[in-house]
Amino acid sequence: MATNSENTTKYARLASVLRERIEDGVYPPGSPLPSENQLTAEYGESRATARNAVQALAAEGLVTVLHGKGAFVRPPPPHRPPQPDAHPGPGRHHQARRRRRPRWRL
């Protein structure tokens, strides 16, 4: 039977390793991730795999990619306590309108 890691793509596995390193503080906020070439050398994957892994982390909001500069770890979002709703709920003007009959007759 195939394990979960065998069913995922190479870039997803590499993104998972990088995500763990970010969460563990190996790459603190503001620090650059290794370049595509460094990731290729370290993990033995292609540059396309490394690029896709970094793009996946950028899509999650964990890193910011600056063209020509590299990928940098983003700081975690500030914790905001939940705000009470200013509007208690839908009023009469939010109710669905009933379908009206046409005014003309045959």
Separation CA 29–CA 2 (nearest Å): 35
Give residue-wise pLDDT tens across range 20-76.
999 999 999 999 999 999 999 999 999 999 999 999 999 999 999 999 999 999 998
Domain 29-76 has CATH 3.30.1490.190: no
| pLDDT reading at 102 higher than 80 | no
Domain range summary for the chain, segments of one domain joined by +? 29-76
Instruction: Please classify residue 55 by burial: count the beta carbons closer than 10 Å to its beta carbon, then call 0-12 exposed, 13-18 middle and 19+ buried.
Output: middle
- Pair 63, 73: CB distance under 8 Å: yes
| pLDDT reading at 88 higher than 70 | no
Higher pLDDT: 102 or 54? It is 54
